[in-house]
């Protein structure tokens, strides 16, 4: 059964009140909320190769109407984001119906629909002064000493125009009070923002949260290799807590409210 | 409950970045970059990301205001335009057309800018035309 029929059935049976997928409008593939009121739009339903954070839209809809039943066209990254939002009580699994669609090319799927599978290209100046998007973190550590790594990261961070795009597009950024807007942590009105603290505040908050979807890096006008940074952050989380964000419905080790802390305090490098 | 996405062009500067408004129940809830747009390719600056804030701002002017006795009074478009035209005519007659300058904007379309300079040159009779992007 093709996806249009499936969505039509879900809507007509009342399994979902709204289904979030894509449609073609004026030559652009953009997200769209399909409901019983606009069934005629269904013929334009598409699975876009451009990826938007539909799960973030679902959290916005849930904010307005908590019991709304939402269907979502989901790839692996969307599913990881949904899992994470379930564990942080931002969405409830009973109200969400994901319809899985093609993502990674594999033995069974010989084509993919996602633009993110193509590795990003890095220019020669960036390779020389900054950080290659595709560099292996191990090799990066081996080939650069402390000072070089610092200067390369500072070069990348200094390009920041403080657009907050990385936070705004992030499917798992849902705090109402954002530390990046706290004047005690990040001085307002300065460009570039206080570096590296601005990016490191966000990086620490991505520990145990980031589901490695790559939307932040894609939205960054300054081409800062954010994915590299957050991946390394979560490698530590994986080593210390044996936890991969979004992999399942396991509760995050960072939800400490109400729990007794079992970790022994110790220095970072011990 | 309905949710749709409306593509548009950022109104802040002359770059013309593609934006996407997330509209929930007829109200713009947030702004996203339009990923397939050739100008910004899925990226935005802080102003573009915050477009929905000024659209929904309570301080937004929704009707023309005319200053009378030092205070702004709400007026209809007809009243406001008549008031402006009358005073422009008065200035032109007393001080000549070059006493008037027309400032246009990079935020409006080429066609609107063209019409504004036409108004300045043909209707008012001045070459005093300038715009915000000529830094």
* Statement: residue A28 has pLDDT above 50: yes
Q: Which residues in chain B are closer than 8 Å to A61, comparing Cβ atoms?
A: 1, 3, 24
pLDDT of B49 reads 94
Contact A17, B1 (CB under 8 A): yes
Q: Is B32 in the A-facing interface, judged by CB distances under 8 Å?
A: yes
Question: What distance lies between CA B64 and its chain's CA centroid?
Answer: 13
Q: What is the reported pLDDT for A107?
A: 47
What confidence tier does B50 reach under pLDDT thresholds 50, 70, 90?
very high
How many other C-beta atoms are found inside a 10 Å radius of the C-beta of residue B97? 17
Task: Give the model's pLDDT for residue A106.
Answer: 47
Query: Do B33 and A219 lie within an 8 Å CB cutoff?
Result: yes
The per-residue pLDDT of chain A, averaged, comes to 85
Q: How many CB pairs under 8 A join A and B?
A: 80
Q: Kindly determine whether residue A165 and residue B32, on different chains, have CB atoms separated by under 8 Å.
A: no
Q: Which residues of A touch B46 (CB under 8 A)?
A: 161-164
> pTM for this structure?
0.82
Identify the pLDDT of residue B52: 92
A196 band by pLDDT with thresholds 50, 70 and 90? confident
Query: Chain A 24-53, CB below 8 Å of chain B: which residues?
Result: 25-33, 35, 37-38, 50-52
Strands (E), B2-54: 3-9, 18-24, 27-33
Most B CBs within 10 Å: which of A26, A33, A223, as the mutation test of the B interface?
A: A33
Domains and CATH numbers, chain B: 3-55 (2.20.25.90), 61-95 (no CATH), 97-135 (no CATH)
Instruction: Pick A188 or B79 by higher pLDDT.
Output: B79
B123 CA to chain A: closest CA distance, Å?
A: 37
Q: What is the pLDDT of residues B64-118, one digit of tens each?
A: 999 988 999 999 999 999 999 999 999 999 999 999 999 988 778 889 999 999 9
pLDDT at A104: 57
**What residue in B sits closest to A33 (Cα-Cα)?**
B3
Task: Note the pLDDT tens digit of each residue in A76-129.
Answer: 888 889 999 999 888 999 999 988 887 654 444 455 556 566 677 888 888 888
Segments making up each domain of chain A, as ranges: 3-100, 119-241
Within the 45-84 window of chain B, which residues sit less than 8 Å (CB to CB) from chain A? Answer: 45-46, 48-49
Residues A157-172 have pLDDT tens digits of 999 999 999 999 999 9
CA distance A184 to chain B (A): 20
Among candidate residues B20, B55, B27, B43, the one with its CA nearest the CA of residue A61: B27
Measure the CA–CA gap between A7 and B42, rounded to whole angstroms.
28
């Amino acid at each position: 059964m093709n996806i249009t029929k499936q969505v039509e059935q879900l809507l007509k049976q009342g399994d979902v009140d709204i289904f979030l997928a894509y449609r073609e409008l004026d030559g652009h593939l953009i997200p769209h909320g399909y409901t019983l009121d606009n069934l005629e739009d269904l013929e334009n339903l598409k699975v876009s190769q451009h990826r938007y954070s539909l799960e973030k839209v679902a959290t916005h809809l849930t904010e307005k109407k908590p019991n709304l039943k939402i269907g979502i066209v989901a790839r692996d990254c969307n599913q990881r984001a949904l899992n994470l939002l379930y564990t942080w009580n931002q969405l409830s699994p009973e109200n969400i119906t994901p319809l899985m669609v093609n993502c990674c090319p594999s033995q069974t799927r010989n084509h993919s629909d996602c633009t993110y599978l193509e590795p990003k290209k890095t220019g020669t100046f960036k390779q020389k002064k900054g950080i290659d998007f595709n560099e292996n973190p191990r090799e990066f550590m081996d080939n650069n000493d402390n000072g070089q790594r610092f200067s390369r990261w500072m070069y990348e961070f200094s390009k920041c125009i403080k657009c907050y795009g990385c936070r705004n597009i992030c499917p798992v950024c849902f705090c109402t009070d954002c530390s990046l807007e706290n004047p005690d942590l990040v001085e307002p009105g300065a460009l570039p923002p206080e570096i590296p603290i601005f990016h490191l505040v966000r990086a620490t908050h991505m520990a145990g949260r980031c589901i490695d979807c790559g939307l932040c890096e894609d939205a960054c006008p300054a081409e800062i290799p954010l994915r590299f940074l957050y991946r390394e952050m979560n490698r530590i989380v994986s080593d210390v807590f044996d936890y991969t964000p979004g992999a399942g419905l396991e509760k995050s080790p960072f939800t400490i409210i109400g729990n007794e802390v079992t970790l022994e305090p110790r220095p970072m490098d011990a | 409950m309905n949710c749709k996405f409306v593509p548009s062009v950022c109104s802040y500067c002359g770059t013309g970045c593609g934006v996407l408004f997330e509209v929930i129940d007829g109200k713009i809830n947030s702004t996203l970059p339009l990923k397939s747009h050739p100008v910004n390719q899925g990226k935005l600056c802080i102003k573009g990301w915050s477009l929905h804030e000024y659209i929904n701002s309570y301080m937004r002017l929704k009707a023309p205001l005319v200053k009378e006795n030092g205070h702004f009074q709400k007026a209809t478009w007809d009243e406001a335009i008549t008031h402006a035209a009358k005073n422009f005519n008065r200035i032109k007659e007393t001080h000549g057309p070059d006493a008037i300058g027309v400032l246009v904007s990079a935020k409006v379309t080429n066609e609107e800018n063209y019409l504004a300079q036409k108004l300045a040159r043909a209707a008012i009779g001045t070459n005093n035309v300038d715009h915000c992007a000529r830094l």
